[in-house]
Amino acid sequence: MTDLLQKINQLALADIAAPLGFHADGQHVGLKHKSKDLGWIFSDKPAAVAGVFTTNQVQAAPVQLNKQTIKNGMLQAIIVNSGNANAVTGKIGMVHAKQMQETTATVLNIDPDLVGVASTGVIGQILPIDKVVAGIHQLKIDGNTNGFAHAIMTTDTAEKSITIQSTIAGHLVTMSGVAKGSGMIHPNMATMLGFITTDIDIAPDMLQKALSEDVETSFNQITIDGDTSTNDMVLVMANGLANNVTIDRHNSDYDHFKDMLHTVTTALAIGIASDGEGATKLLSVTVNQAQSALDARMVAKKVVGSSLVKTAMFGQDPNWGRIIAAIGASDVDIDPDIIDISLNDIPVMIAGAPTDFDQTDMTESLKQKNIAIDINLHTGDASGQAWGSDLTYEYVKINALYTT
């Protein structure tokens, strides 16, 4: 976890347009009071695309439109606004989403079917489409690339972005990612926006396979408040300009690509968890020796999603009883008499019994920003992780007053 946190903190090195042939911009067009609220990503050539979308039955117009758009397996641009979700606005919502798509295509001189659309912000308000259309004409191909990360933020306090490089079959390849998310975070896949660009050459079906598998151990393992959004998605564009041999089957190049993708998605997921609304702590739960990887992930997410665990960590209270209670509520077969639990490497329960830990040392340890909860089920050899934040007074304040 520490290495990934260091990577997402190196924001000056991260650029969504870093891979060959990509461009980006972000501008303020009046959807929010002062901050940037409209941005795009553009590739010099059509790119292979993969996407995963919210599982909420109430889905915003951009989500519905993108599901149709990416069926051809190619995308060349993505237009994104913040400050307004364009969700639950009736038929006009789809009209506005298509206007965003068509206007972007016109400005960039590409086919509308190559443009993805995303919106994030307040639900149930009509999108001020005139401001959006005018704003699209203001965007530049080679604009403020770091501005894109800011243009997609809502209650986020910091951008989440990462750029990594590697070599595949002798070719230097680059992958960048940017995400927004702070509240309504309980993905399945849902509740945040994530955009990943790469110059790797990979077939659309293999790209979709890699992304669909990866989100189960990255984005789907974060939870802030248990609420699943109407809007959110992850889109990956791969334009192939690195000129590696096309990855069109499962081989060592595909495995290398998946490793890179997992580094990016996990870093972004941890970044989102760390920036939960009102959060003061990042909670990282690791479950070892489970019967299956799915069991491990289910237990980890149940613990990190527990309001009682979250509030205990906010209060610097080593109440491990809340942790074992959450484990028992996870629908995973366990034996409570053999479970071990540690907080920041301090054992609090061994073989189902309490330990005599130093209360002063524990209190000091729980003052840290990063809290690691380690659980050993002793029922198998599989592992899994999940990430979240503590639950604070500020979270209630933000969600009671948030309007844009």
Say if CB 297 and CB 303 are below 8 A apart.
Answer: no
CA-CA distance, 86 to 241, in Å (whole number)? 34
SS3 34: coil
Query: Which residues, in sequence order, are bridge partners of residue 119?
Result: 81
Neighbours of 202 (CB within 10 A): 26
**Which residue is it, tokens 């990956």?**
236
Has 191 been annotated as catalytic?
A: yes
| Set 191, 223, 286, 392: catalytic member | 191
User: Residue 251 contacts by C-beta under 8 Å, 6 or more apart in sequence?
Assistant: none
Residue 161 and residue 8 in contact, taking contact as beta carbons nearer than 8 Å: yes
Closest residue by Cα to residue 107 from 177, 42, 49: 42
- For the beta carbon of residue 170, count every other beta carbon within 10 angstroms: 7
Instruction: Report CA Rg, the chain.
Output: 21
In 10 A of CB 165, how many CB atoms? 12
Pair 353, 273: CB distance under 8 Å: no
Phi first, then psi: give them for residue 170, nearest 5 degrees. Answer: 85, 0
| Residues that are catalytic | 191
